[in-house]
Amino acid sequence: MRRALVDRTLGNGLRLLALRHGGTPLAEARLHLPSPCPTRRDLAEAMLLAACLPEGHGRDDGVTEVTATADVHQTTVAAGSPLADLRALMPALAEMVRDVPTEPGPARGRLIARLRLTRTHPDVTVRSDLARHLFGDHPAAFHLPEEKELAAIGRVRRPPFDPRGALLVILADEDPGRMADAAEQALAGWRPPAAGASPLPPLPRIEGGRLVALPRPGAPQSRIRLRAPAVTAGHERYPALFLACNALGGYLSSRLSRSLREDKGYVYGVTTFFDTRPGSGLLAIEADTAAATTGAALEVLTAELHRMRTHPPTEQEIDAARAYALGSMATRLAPRAAFASALADLAAKAVDPLLLLDFPRRLAAVTREAVIAAADEFLAVERFSGVVAADPGALGGYGGGFELASAGFSS
């Protein structure tokens, strides 16, 4: 019988997950590297280093692709190659984590240009303001480095990457044991630094019931972004809360979508999802609406949150939310690259990646009573906090369930 999975931890602390997946002669690898950034300077250096990594170590053969990204928590390296090149790719990854470049070179200019383009999207500023509202001066509020911060870096002085806590995911139509052996041969010599990096402090407690108005004079569209404390994906109540969240606004037939979009036509789009951070989970509600319907949309949204507790989801709603979740998950994770990224993403959020493989079973076992209990505890209006980016006149008549305040920071 062919093995489908090998889960191995090397002596240096690196965890290897090798999975047989797909039927094409291609391989995908994801390397999750914990790299906490306690200051804005650290984040700027981490993102600059990530931009440099592929240039110094990626293979320019036209078929092997290596990219790297970074945020305040980690650096992630993504690589795709023909299966025949997998054994050559592993030493390249080993060189990447051991021989870290210090000279930014042309990568700095390309990173600045990419961030300029990213900032042109209006939602980027809103998300940055949301993070500052929720987390204050915690590093989780650091969003994107400024150009002047990147320009001020002469040499990248990030601490060495540490194999302890790192994870390498490899997916290919190949024997997982052979893939793990190739990775171990290349990476077993990667030694931990003498002193490991200190983890970031826990996220601060979110003060619920507060909605901060972000003035956007003349804006024809308003953006509503809400968050509330939840549980992480590994928690026993996560599947029940996941279904409650789905029934509320996770797909087109959900309550928020039917009420706000189909019945009243107040929103262009509305969704609920989990905004998971390392060690903590947040429930998210997001909606985009016209300026003229901003207050009305907020009031309907508030009413639907109340209704999740006074008129909890029916068995039919829960079954539909479950069927949608299982179907969309199967479709979304069918590509090898998407599956590899999903596994690495869970590791980046301090969740065991193997929980992804067991999630359909956990979801199927959820009872209606568990969903009702989760909705009652976690979907109370007073637990949510967030921002609404809108023309100042759009909220003049709002009288909903949130305490409305002006932003105490500059956008």
Same domain, 314 and 176: no
pLDDT value at 409 more than 60: no
pLDDT band at 157 (very low <50, low <70, confident <90, very high): confident
User: Residue 322: what pLDDT?
Assistant: 98
Average pLDDT for 260-283? 94
Each residue of 214-223: pLDDT tens digit? 999 999 999 9
User: Residue 121: what pLDDT?
Assistant: 92
User: Is residue 203 included in any domain, yes or no?
Assistant: no
Same domain, 253 and 167: no
Task: Round to whole Å and give the CA distance between 146 and 160.
Answer: 24
User: Is residue 236 included in any domain, yes or no?
Assistant: yes
pLDDT band at 82 (very low <50, low <70, confident <90, very high): very high
Same domain, 18 and 133: yes
The share of the chain scoring above pLDDT 90, in percent, equals: 80
Average pLDDT for 47-54? 92
Most confident of 204-213, 377-386, 394-403: 377-386
The CATH number that applies at residue 387 is 3.30.830.10
pLDDT value at 123 more than 80: yes
Same domain, 238 and 276: yes
Instruction: Examine the fold and report which residue of 187, 221, 244 is the final residue of a domain before the chain moves on.
Output: 187
Buried b / exposed e along 375-410 (16+ C-beta atoms within 10 A):
bebbbbbebbbbbbbbbeebbeebebbbeeeeeeee
User: Is residue 32 included in any domain, yes or no?
Assistant: yes
Same domain, 176 and 215: no
pLDDT value at 79 more than 90: yes
Average pLDDT for 69-81? 95
CB atoms within 10 A of CB 68: 22
pTM: 0.92
Same domain, 329 and 379: yes
User: Residue 313: what pLDDT?
Assistant: 97
Same domain, 284 and 225: yes
Instruction: Examine the fold and report which residue of 123, 154, 187 is the final residue of a domain before the chain moves on.
Output: 187
- Paired tokens of 18: 């090798």
User: Is residue 327 included in any domain, yes or no?
Assistant: yes
User: Residue 56: what pLDDT?
Assistant: 55
| Whether the Cβ atoms of residue 183 and residue 16 lie closer than 8 Å to each other | yes
CA max distance for the chain: 67
pLDDT value at 162 more than 70: yes
Instruction: Examine the fold and report which residue of 132, 152, 187 is the final residue of a domain before the chain moves on.
Output: 187
Selected residue with higher pLDDT from 366 and 405 = 366
Same domain, 307 and 239: yes
pLDDT band at 175 (very low <50, low <70, confident <90, very high): very high
- Of 97-111, 218-232, 283-297, the poorest mean pLDDT is in 97-111
Each residue of 314-367: pLDDT tens digit? 999 999 999 999 999 999 999 999 999 999 999 989 899 999 999 999 999 999
User: Residue 156: what pLDDT?
Assistant: 87
Same domain, 172 and 33: yes
Selected residue with higher pLDDT from 264 and 1 = 264
Q: Which domain holds residue 243?
A: 210-406
User: Residue 395: what pLDDT?
Assistant: 85
Same domain, 170 and 220: no
Same domain, 217 and 347: yes
Same domain, 226 and 358: yes
| Phi and psi torsions of 273, nearest 5° | -165, 175
User: Residue 1: what pLDDT?
Assistant: 35
- At position 9, the amino acid (one-letter code) is T
Question: pLDDT averaged over the chain?
Answer: 92
User: Is residue 35 included in any domain, yes or no?
Assistant: yes
Task: Round to whole Å and give the CA distance between 307 and 303.
Answer: 6
User: Is residue 26 included in any domain, yes or no?
Assistant: yes
Average pLDDT for 255-271? 95
What does each C-alpha distance from 28 to 164, 169, 271 come to in angstroms?
22, 8, 30
Task: Round to whole Å and give the CA distance between 384 and 363.
Answer: 25
pLDDT value at 27 more than 90: yes
pLDDT value at 142 more than 60: yes
| Whether the Cβ atoms of residue 208 and residue 385 lie closer than 8 Å to each other | yes
Considering its fold, how many domains does the chain have in total?
2
User: Is residue 123 included in any domain, yes or no?
Assistant: yes
